[in-house]
Amino acid sequence: MAVTVPSIDKAAPVTYPSPGLREREVPAETLLEARGVTFSYPDGTVALNSLSIGIPRGRRVVVLGANGCGKSTLFLHFGGVLRPKSGEIVLDGQPVRYDRAGMTRLRQQVGLVFQDPDSQLFASSVRQDISFGPLNLGWSEAKVRDAVEAAIEATQIGDLADRPAHLLSYGQKKRVAIAGVLAMDPSVIIADEPTAGLDPESTARLVSLFNSLHDAGRTIVISTHDVELALAWADEVVVMRKGELLRTGHPTAVFQDPEVLAGARLQQPIVLETFGHLCHMGYIPTDAVPPRNANELAELIGCHCSPQPAPISTDFDALRSGPSHHA
Amino acid sequence: MNPFPIDAVAYGNRLRSAPATEKILFAAGAVALCVGFRSLAVTAVVVTIVTAVLRLRAGIGLRDFWGFLWLPSGFILTGVVPMAIEFLDPQTPGVLAAVHIGSWHLGVTSRGLTQALAILASSFGSLSGTLFLALTTPIVDITDQLRRWCVPVLFIDMMMLIYRFTFVLLATAGAMKTAQEVRLGYSTNRLWLRSVAMLASNLYLRSQMRAVSLFTALSCRGYSGELRVLVDRAPWSATRVLGIIGVHVLIGIWGVATRTWGWV
């Protein structure tokens, strides 16, 4: 999707107008937090370097950064798989304890979806796999059954429920993996590169699934390299570099910060790049609100005709404010 | 694509949704009859019934059934033929045929032949009974049933993991082999050997890594030593169960009658 377009005059970056924030930032309480977390792997690689990041409750957060910048390591800390060498992970204002009770609480609240669904799905049938998490929480069988059915319905995998994992496509396995953590009724779902390797339609369906989970009050955190998706979809963007936090903020603000783009070696979303050029050339007033997708950009340059409905909607804004969005 | 044709048939046949209890009962009865009677006549009846049920109820034709049956049957035959042929004393009674090689007498006696035929009958019959279950019932349903019968959890967990990761392993091995093949890894005999060795050692390492990541992912969902999953209650119909038992009992009576009074 991210098509590389030769940019005009790379040497002298266009200065963009200061970002106007479309949605009024309402300060949200912090649900999950890393406080000064440092972690190094046994081979000496420092993966996180006194990193402090807060995940606000009820937001859609996208974590960006080059490969090996520590995104997955951070997620494993949030899931309680890795323990910080120094610093702490804080859930709902309380530092995470690494005893049995503490881990049960953390793992119920934080649903971690791994990049490779094959490492997560183990049971012979989809329904059984989804029932694994809730059963570990010690719920009654009736409650587990309800949770499993609700997760199957929310992820729209009813037709796959009795199939074995090896008869599922990659995209279907992803949905099953999400259902597996959703059934545990977590407050936050953290997915490591959920759209990697998915075709546009599956990506659109997955984003729409995340939207519906968000509408139901859950916090969603995903990592991706897809800057267009991050711009169009995120409430908040977190940019990491070499185990440190480079910048966090509203996507249009982050993607218009040349230092961040250069520092994290991020490509600016094409929509914003075009917007910048059009501002520069005087087609768009410099105080205009930066667009977050192609439709918003089209409106800015006076194209008010409704766009042709695409056979596959990869317009994440449509997904953002579409019928599923009725919070 | 399913690399295991039996698994594909198990998910695709018309008896897929029939209760596992009934299918296991039917298969177990067939195996018990064949092993119990060790009689060619009983085995013939059982195999005919199994074939008919597969054809008429499961939609698996004779040709497909035989396609799965011939390879293990070959093993049975190669095992049974040497059993029938034995070293003989010149005075042994009931010799049907013999060859003399120097001072050795090699031949078939009626007792040896009977014994070999009995083993052929029981093993071929059990094979078709087991294959019936394998072709109509996916592993999921069988492990579910074992859970209901309170078979030790460790055993079922192992079964479930082996089944699941056989496919993952095969897919990984397939991808690796293709990657080697496109770089001419199998173009000569020497390269073939080298590539296979690399594939095997890599696959081992990959499996280790897979095990670690599986453990991590399970831990995130609260794994604490037992792979608990939900199992639905087994639906089964009393009429069909009675019907299956009835058929088996009838074959049993007929088997006893042929043995006692020599009826056929």
Report the pLDDT value the prediction gives residue A309, as an integer from 0 to 100: 55
Residue in chain A lying closest to B216 (CA) = A81
Residue A322 pLDDT level (bands cut at 50, 70, 90): very low
CATH architecture, domain defined by A30-115+192-321: 3-Layer(aba) Sandwich (3.40)
C-beta atoms of A136 and B222 within 8 A? yes
* Model confidence pLDDT, tens digit, residues B151-167: 998 899 899 889 888 98
Chain A residues with beta carbon closer than 8 angstroms to that of B217: 112, 114, 119-120
CB A135 within 8 A of CB B227: no
Whether A57 contacts A30, CB under 8 Å: yes
Q: Which residues of A touch B163 (CB under 8 A)?
A: 124, 164
Residue A20, pLDDT above cutoff 60: no
Question: What mean pLDDT do residues A310-324 have?
Answer: 51
Q: From B166, B188, B133, B155, select the one nearest B20 (Cα to Cα).
A: B133
Domain boundaries, chain A: 30-115+192-321
State the nearest Cα–Cα gap between B169 and chain A, in angstroms: 11
Residue B245 pLDDT greater than 60, yes or no? yes
Is B160 in CB contact (< 8 Å) with chain A?
yes
Q: How far is the CA of B134 from the CAs of A195, B4, B22, B70, in angstroms? A: 37, 12, 14, 15
- Mean pLDDT score of chain A: 86
Q: Are A89 and A34 in contact (CB under 8 A)?
A: yes
pLDDT of the residue at B112: 86
Convert the pLDDT of each residue in A241-292 to its tens digit: 999 999 999 999 999 999 999 999 999 999 999 999 999 998 888 888 999 9
* B157 φ/ψ angles, rounded to the nearest 5 degrees: -60, -45
Q: What is the pLDDT of residue A307?
A: 55
Contact A231, A252 (CB under 8 A): yes
A179 to chain B, any CB pair closer than 8 A? The answer is: no
pLDDT score recorded for residue B240 = 92
Residue A247 bridge partners (DSSP): A239
**Region B237-242: what's the mean pLDDT?**
92
Q: 């997915």: which residue's tokens?
A: A191
- CB contact (8 A) between residue B221 and residue A121: no
A193/chain B closest Cα distance in angstroms: 15
Of the listed ranges A25-34, A130-139, B54-63, B252-261, the least confidently predicted one is A25-34
Q: Which of A111, A123, A167 sits opposite B2 (nearest CB)?
A: A167
For residue A132, give the nearest of B2, B171, B221 by CB distance. Answer: B221
CB contacts of A128 in chain B (<8 Å) are 140, 229-231
The C-alpha of B236 sits at a distance from chain A's nearest C-alpha, in angstroms, of 18
- The residue behind tokens 């005075």 is B91
What per-residue confidence (pLDDT) applies to B148? 86
- ipTM comes to 0.74
CA B78 to chain CA centroid, Å, is: 17
CB B132 within 8 A of CB B53: yes
Which residues, at least 6 apart from B234, have a Cβ–Cβ distance to it below 8 Å? B19, B20, B21, B144, B145, B148
Q: What is chain B's mean pLDDT, rounded? A: 89
A140-189 pLDDT, tens digit per residue, is 999 999 999 999 999 999 999 988 888 899 999 999 999 999 999 999 99
The residues near B21 (Cβ < 8 Å, ≥ 6 apart) are B145, B234, B236, B241
E strand or H helix at A126: helix A126-136
pLDDT band at A216 (very low <50, low <70, confident <90, very high): very high
Who among A103, A135, A184 is closest to B229 (CB)?
A135
Token pair, residue A214, equals 């968000």
Q: What is the pLDDT of residue B263?
A: 54
Residue in A with minimal Cα distance to B213: A119
Per-residue pLDDT, A175:
94
Which chain A residues touch B213 with a CB distance below 8 Å? Answer: 114, 116, 119
* In the predicted structure, residue A25 carries a pLDDT above the cut 90: no
Q: B-contacting residues of A 103-142, CB under 8 Å?
A: 103-104, 107-108, 111-112, 114, 116, 118-125, 127-129, 131-133, 135-137, 141
Contact (CB<8Å) B217/A114: yes
A148 neighbourhood in chain B, CB within 8 Å: 230
How far apart (Å, rounded) are the C-alpha atoms in residues B56 and B135? Answer: 14
Give per-residue pLDDT as tens, B91-141.
777 778 888 888 888 888 888 888 999 999 999 999 999 999 999 998 888
Alpha-carbon gap: A123 to the closest alpha carbon of chain B (Å)? 6
Instruction: Tell whether the model's pLDDT for residue B259 goes beyond 90.
Output: no
CB contact under 8 A, A124 and B160: yes
**pLDDT confidence band for A28 (50 / 70 / 90):** confident
Radius of gyration of chain A (CA): 20
Q: What is the mean pLDDT of residues A115-124?
A: 88
Cβ atoms of A62 and A237 within 8 Å: the answer is yes
Closest chain A residue to the Cα of B157, Cα to Cα = A123
Inter-chain residue contact A136 with B163, CB threshold 8 Å: no
Q: Give per-residue pLDDT as tens, B173-217.
A: 998 998 898 888 898 999 999 999 999 999 999 999 988 999 999
**What is the pLDDT averaged over residues A107-111?**
94
